[in-house]
Amino acid sequence: MTDVAFARVLHVLAVVLWIGGVGMVTTVLLPSIRSLYPPAERFAVFHALETRFARQARITTAFTGASGFYMVWRLRAWDRFHTPGFWWMHAMVMTWMVFTLMLFVIEPLFLESLLARQAAMAAEATYRRIEWFHRLLLALSLLTVAGAVAGSLGLNLFD
């Protein structure tokens, strides 16, 4: 196995764990909490369960970014970022950046405490915002994955 093949395998496995986890949180965990707990308890339950996934997500996004950067560097594929047909590469970087900023900067520095304060004042509205934001992130992620798979197979929206 070449180094690039190994990097691609690592990249895909990390993406599967990361985005699959986002899908699980969005489509199973959040709706289950909504149906099983009263509004005043939802944020605390979500936060307790999501904290474990956040650790996994930090590791998998780090592996995703490192392996993706390595492949672009090793393949000298920087020019793809100048070609509209490789829009999915921009989408991969953008999706990775959004999650990396959320997981490593925004959430730990202020979002957790902000959401906890908001949940104490308006539990239902805060939980709705959390659900909406997770749906948006999942949609962005799935569009990116679909574009990357199609693009890597040579399907191009701009041909």
State the pLDDT at residue 155: 81
Query: Residue 12: which domain range?
Result: 3-152
**Residue 87 domain-assigned (yes or no):** yes
By CB neighbour count within 10 A (0-12 exposed, 13-18 middle, 19+ buried), where does 12 fall? Answer: middle
Q: Which candidate, 66, 65, 132, places its Cα nearest to that of 94?
A: 65
State the pLDDT at residue 1: 76
Question: How many structural domains comprise the chain?
Answer: 1
Alpha-carbon gap, residue 30 to 99, rounded angstroms? 18
**Residue 158 domain-assigned (yes or no):** no
**Residue 27 domain-assigned (yes or no):** yes
DSSP annotation of 156 reads -
**Residue 126 domain-assigned (yes or no):** yes
State the pLDDT at residue 57: 96
Neighbouring C-beta atoms of residue 105, cutoff 10 Å: 11
**Residue 157 domain-assigned (yes or no):** no
Q: Long-range contacts for 20-23 (Cβ within 8 Å, ≥24 apart)?
A: 21/53, 21/56, 21/57, 21/60, 22/57, 22/134, 22/137, 22/138, 22/141, 23/138, 23/141, 23/142
Residuewise pLDDT in 10s, the chain (159 residues): 799 999 999 999 999 999 999 999 999 999 999 999 999 999 999 999 998 899 999 999 999 999 999 999 999 999 999 988 899 999 999 999 999 999 999 999 999 999 999 999 999 999 999 999 999 999 999 999 999 999 988 887 766
Task: Look up residue 8 and give its two tokens.
Answer: 């691609």
**Residue 130 domain-assigned (yes or no):** yes
